Chain A
Amino acid sequence: MNAAMMLLVISFAAPLLVLVAGTINARLVPHVAVLATALAAVVVGWSFWQPDAAIRWTWAEVYGLHFELRLDGLARLYALLAIGIGFLVVAYASRYMELHLHHGDRPASDHIRFFFFLLLFMAAMVGLVMAQDLILIFVFWDLTAIASFFLIGFDQHEEDSRSSAMMALVVTGVTAVLVLVGAMLLHHDYGTWSLPAIIEQGGIQDSAPWALLLIAIGALAKSAQVPLHFWLPRAMAAPTPVSAYLHSAAMVAAGVFLIGRFYPLMQQVDWLLDVFLVIGFASMLVGGILALTRNVLKQVLAYSTISQYGYVVFMFGMGGDYGIKGASFYVLAHAIVKSALFLTAGAVTEATGKKTLADIGGLRQTMPMLALGSGMAAAGLVALPLTIGFFKDELFFARAAQLGAPYMVMAVAGAALTFAYIFRFWTHIFLGREISPSQPISTWLVWPVVVLGLLTVLGGIWPAPFTHIAEAAASVSTNSPQKLHVEYVIAPIVENLMAISTWVFGFGIYWTRRRWWRVALGIAHLGEQLGPAHWYYRGLNGLNHLSDSIHSFEVRDLRSRVASILLPAGILVGLAVLVTPNANSFEIGPIQQSDFTLVIMLIAAVVSGLVVMTLRDHLRLAIGLSSVGYSLAGVYAFMSAPNVTLVAIVVETILSMFLIGMMVLMPRTILRFETEADSDRRSISRDAVIATVAGLLVFFVSWGALSRTSWNTEIIDSQTVLTPAVHGKNIVTVILADFRGFDTMGEITVITITLIGIISLLRSGRLR
């Protein structure tokens, strides 16, 4: 079993193990989840010493689809984030969720749902980062969206939680469809679903730039980039471990991962890189300014994430060696420090019961370890020396400096904002005087933060392991081998000067906050009033209204219910009749002597049809209707089709019984009302016109269709020839089960759905 296979198996086994443990005892679930992710973390660590590995199974070969996975440098980086950070988050959650469920007075069985979807998300991420087949990428991509929906909406009893989950699903789900469309366009241009094969063909063909744009939109929405960023701050309604995981290391990282995966193609489209530059910078700015104005801990971090992924997108836009290597290194460094800060927010809230910066302060004395761990992480995010963050900014600055002054200004502006809001975040929590007293908390809520903090410092002292991971990822993104080496240079080089000006400006922004505070709030307020979130709600409300008005028309009465189906169907069929070429159709064939009996039965059918029109009593109506069916069965009998006749009679009998059965269920008053109601002349003539038009339409459609078939018997002939070869003697059955078996599948699916509908409608008893 190679490394790719090991990773895949262990990742997808983990959520299943949680389910199994849940059936034994719900309290076992957190322990099993910790063990399973620990094992996965060991495997992902081991995989770094293994050569690149691949899995390739053929499935649906006719469509050229393969289950093709590959553990390459890019996959290793993101799998490490998903599983490594995942392990720490699961360890944290094993204690946190117990308290969370306890506060909410919820059963221990809710553990199962939480850890199942968390681990399913992790598995989907592992699948996504290794997938090489375009359709497979889409499948795993969508799986992450589905799992995240259940995780964000975990506190389903809270309205805010539900609407946030829905918003995240709509934004990332709708844009996921764009990814699929992009994948299909690429397949159309390159003739393969395999991404490596497409990259190998080289060049950008016909519609490929548009395909890549669609994929980029999906990726940017997932990474919460402006203007599709609004779902992320709302998604903070989720329990803290979910925020820490999805919104630092996993879900938002999936977006920039996708850009990294398609980058060998994307870098060939210059205007697409410009799009990345614009959106990346806008996200840096918007996220940074809004993070400065927020008071809720997790909101500060959410906007910070938007801003930080803006950096990464900006770096992809700048391109070049430093840009791509820097982007990979940035994602790694950011995931470590940001998850530590999210976990800090959760631990602080757990200890004090408070969620906003205004209510929290001076915690360094009561929570020294947490202060130290998160302090290291915060230092990493603001890029102080001796942390991994220093190098992430150095690479960012190095590339900006290569491109010229405007880029340098943008880079320093973004980084200075980061310094300001993180400085505010950390100092308000841990320094100053104590505002709210804190309770002692479990060490399980602290040690993951300390580990992440130590990693931050380790990366600053010994960056080589981290740069190796990043260079392997960048080699995949650029499709050429890359080397990344970082070190401290104590000299007035341009990167160092930019870093120093970042700290100075950042501190300046923080220090002068009272002066610009109202302006920033005004910008935030304007964004809320006119921004994309506002249009999202308007769009959603509009759709709801449309759906409600169609629904209320449909359920008004039986007539409107039938009209809402038949009218659109009739219009469509009518249009189809009009545009269909009608040469050789609508011809009257000769009537021979042998057709005499047939004509008699047809007359009987017509007479039954006319009689039905005169009946008013419901029972007679049901019997009259069935006599139409029986006379048609007679027609089949005279056409020498005894089996069809038999089926027609049996079906007609069952239908009549069913019809009568339904009438028994109807309240008598309604039946009587319908029977005795005197229709006025106007409604009778209106019904007559509708019936005549509908009847004529059906007549012409059937006539056109029937007179056409006699001219083209090629398919029937070939099927007759093929029938013995496929072991059949009865061509009707062979057509139903084999030649047109897929149609039959559709039909029996509809029948089963109808049965489910009937049973669930009648479950509550008689119709009212």
Chain B
Amino acid sequence: MPTRDSLQLTGGMLQMGARVLLVPGFIIAIAIMLKGYADIGDGFSAGVIAALVVIVQGLAFGAEELERIAVARLAPLLGFIGLGLAYALAFVPVLFGYPILTHFPRMNEHAEHFGPLEFITPVLFDVAVFLVVYGFCVGAMMAVSRAEVRHQRLIRRARQRAGSRGGDAV
């Protein structure tokens, strides 16, 4: 059995590691996503990495910490925005007479680029995938943690009520 001290120590280490990794983790995720078209990586892997970095904050600092971090709080919204972006990329070309999900610039046309980052619509589509995957992972964990927090609060209230009435604890 771990002792109380060893638990505190590992907790402290987890908190430090989580905080130190937060920003670099995100930067790595975004890099993996943006250069995904030219190199190893894509929106999906970037999405799960970014999600893991955020979820670990919750593990280390508790559910309240997740509520403080905007990118965690807004995760489901980001997911919906991602899906909207993907649908826009799919169906806007249809309005102009192209097949569904036609990417631009078209095949063999010139594409501008900045280092490994290319200015082409597939990269935007990958960003959409990133947002959906990130939104799902963090959003689902947030839903679980919020449900638990709400439950604990209910129990506390019930106990207080029972205590104030002087009856049995619930």
- Using a CB–CB distance below 8 Å, which chain A residues touch chain B? 58-62, 642-643, 646-647, 650-651, 653-654, 657-658, 661-662, 664-665, 722, 725-730, 732-734, 736-738, 741-742, 744-745, 748-749, 751-752, 754-755, 758-759, 762-763, 765-767
Q: How far is the CA of A722 from the CA of B108 in the complex (A)?
A: 10
The chain A residue sitting closest to B100, CB to CB, is: A742
Chain B positions within 8 Å of A658 at CB level: 140-141, 144
Bound together, the chains give a CA A362 to CA B93 distance in angstroms of: 65
Cβ of B29 to closest chain A Cβ, rounded Å: 10
12 A-B pairs with C-beta separation under 8 A: A650-B48, A650-B49, A650-B51, A650-B52, A654-B48, A658-B141, A661-B145, A736-B43, A737-B37, A748-B129, A748-B133, A749-B83
Q: Is the CB of B132 within 8 A of A733?
A: no
Given known contacts A658-B144, A755-B136, is B125 in contact with A741 (CB within 8 Å)?
yes
Q: Give B contacts to A, CB under 8 Å.
A: 36-45, 48-49, 51-52, 55, 59, 76, 79-80, 82-83, 86-87, 90, 94-95, 97-101, 103, 105, 107-108, 111, 118, 120, 122-123, 125-126, 128-129, 132-133, 135-137, 139-141, 143-148, 150-151, 154
Closest chain B CB from A737 CB (angstroms): 4
Known: A60-B99, A759-B139, A762-B144. A726 touches B122 (CB 8 A): yes
CB distance from B120 to the nearest CB of A (A): 5
* Cα distance A697–B51 in the bound complex, in angstroms: 34
B136 contacts A730, C-beta separation under 8 Å = no
With A59-B94, A60-B94, A737-B125 given, is the CB distance from A745 to B86 under 8 Å?
Answer: yes
Could you say which of A651, A661, A727, A730 has the most chain B C-beta atoms within 10 Å of its C-beta? A727
4 closest A-B pairs by beta carbon, nearest first, are A766-B151, A661-B144, A737-B122, A762-B147
Contact indicator B147/A665 (Cβ below 8 Å): yes
Tell whether, in the assembled complex, residue A752 and residue B144 are in contact, meaning their CB atoms are under 8 Å apart: no
- The minimal Cβ–Cβ distance linking A224 to chain B, given in whole angstroms, is 36
Q: Which residues of B contact A642 (CB under 8 A)?
A: 40
- Assuming the A-B contacts A727-B122, A737-B129, are A653 and B52 also in contact, with contact meaning beta carbons closer than 8 angstroms in the complex? yes
The reply to whether A661 and B141 form a contact with Cβ atoms under 8 Å apart is yes
CA distance A737 to B97 in the complex (A): 20
Q: How far is the CA of A633 from the CA of B168 in the complex (A)?
A: 51
For the complex, what is the distance from the CA of A734 to the CA of B52, rounded to whole Å?
25
**Complex contact B128–A748 (CB within 8 A):** yes
Interface residues of chain B: helix, strand, loop or mixed (majority): helix
Asked if A728 meets B45 with Cβ closer than 8 Å, knowing A661-B144, A749-B83, the reply is no
Decide yes or no: A758 and B140 within 8 Å by CB, A726-B107, A733-B126, A745-B101 being known contacts.
yes
User: Least Cβ distance of B52 to chain A in Å?
Assistant: 5
A730 touching B133, Cβ below 8 Å: no
Q: Give the distance in Å from the alpha carbon of A762 to the alpha carbon of B148 in the complex.
A: 9
Q: A729-B38, A754-B136 are in contact. Are A62 and B99 (CB under 8 A)?
A: yes
Assess the A762–B143 pair: CB atoms within 8 A: yes
**Within 8 Å CB of A58, what residues of B?**
97
Shortest distance from the beta carbon of B63 to any chain A beta carbon, whole Å:
10
What total count of A-B pairs have CB within 8 Å? 164
Q: Are A725 and B76 in contact (CB under 8 A)?
A: no
Contact A646–B55 (Cβ < 8 Å): no
Beyond A650-B48, A742-B100, A758-B139, 6 additional contacts (C-beta under 8 Å) are A646-B45, A657-B141, A726-B107, A755-B136, A755-B140, A767-B147
User: What residue of chain A has the Cβ atom nearest to residue B95's Cβ?
Assistant: A59
Cα(A653)–Cα(B56), bound, Å: 10
CB distance from B89 to the nearest CB of A (A): 8
Which residue of chain B lies nearest to A742 when distances are taken between CB atoms in the complex? B101
Query: Which residue of chain A has its CB nearest to the CB of B118?
Result: A727
Q: A residues within 8 A CB of B136?
A: 751-752, 754-755
The secondary-structure label for the interface of chain A is helix
> Is B151 a contact partner of A643 (Cβ separation < 8 A)?
no
**Is there contact, CB below 8 Å, between B135 and A755?**
yes
**A751 and B132 alpha carbons, distance in the complex (Å):** 7
Kindly provide the distance from the CB of B32 to the nearest chain A CB, expressed in whole angstroms.
Answer: 9
Give Cα distance in the complex from A727 to B124, angstroms: 14
**Contact check: which of A650, A745, A752 meets B79 at CB < 8 Å?**
A752
Asked if residues B151 and A729 are in contact (CB atoms below 8 Å), the reply is: no
Cβ–Cβ < 8 Å partners of B144 in chain A: 658, 661-662, 664-665, 762
Complex Cα gap A765–B122 (Å): 39
A755-B101 contact given A664-B148, A729-B38, A766-B148, CB 8 Å threshold? no
Closest chain A residue to B119 by CB distance?
A727
Contacts of B82 in A (CB 8 A): 748
Q: Are A765 and B151 in contact (CB under 8 A)?
A: yes
A654 touches B52 (CB 8 A): yes
Partner of A736 from the list B38, B42, B87, B107 (CB cut-off 8 Å) is B42
A730 and B40 form a contact (CB under 8 A): yes
User: In the complex, how many angstroms separate the beta carbon of B116 from the nearest chain A beta carbon?
Assistant: 9
Instruction: Give the residue name and chain of the A residue nearest to B52 (CB).
Output: A650
For A734, what are the chain B residues with a Cβ–Cβ distance below 8 Å?
37, 122
Q: Which of A664, A737, A738 has the most chain B CB atoms inside 10 A of its CB? A: A737
B125: chain A residues within 8 A (beta carbon): 737-738, 741, 744
A651 touches B150 (CB 8 A): no
CB distance from B97 to the nearest CB of A (A): 4
Kindly provide the distance from the CB of A651 to the nearest chain B CB, expressed in whole angstroms.
5
Per the bound structure, the CA–CA distance linking A59 and B93 in Å amounts to 9
Residues of A within 8 A of B90 (CB): 741-742, 745
Residues of B with C-beta under 8 A to A738: 103, 122, 125
Of A653, A654, A759, the contact of B76 (CB 8 Å cutoff):
A759
Q: Kindly identify which residue among A651, A722, A736, A759 contacts B129, using a CB–CB cutoff of 8 Å.
A: A736
Closest to A66 in B: B97
CA distance A763 to B151 in the complex (A): 11
Contact B55 A762 (CB under 8 A): no
A729-B86 CB under 8 A given contacts A737-B126, A752-B80, A765-B147: no
**Once the chains are docked, how many angstroms separate the CA of A646 from the CA of B36?**
14
Asked whether A647 lies within 8 Å of B122 as measured between CB atoms, the reply is no
B-side contacts of A662, CB under 8 Å: 144
The answer for the CA separation of A124 and B138 in the assembled complex, in Å, is 42
Tell me the bound Cα distance from A335 to B89 in angstroms: 45
A733 touches B37 (CB 8 A): yes
- Kindly state the separation between the CA atoms of A643 and B133 in the bound complex, as whole angstroms: 16
Knowing A727-B122, A729-B38, A744-B129 touch, does A59 contact B45 (C-beta < 8 A)?
no
A741-B101 CB under 8 A given contacts A642-B40, A730-B36, A730-B42: yes
What B residues does A62 contact at CB under 8 A?
99
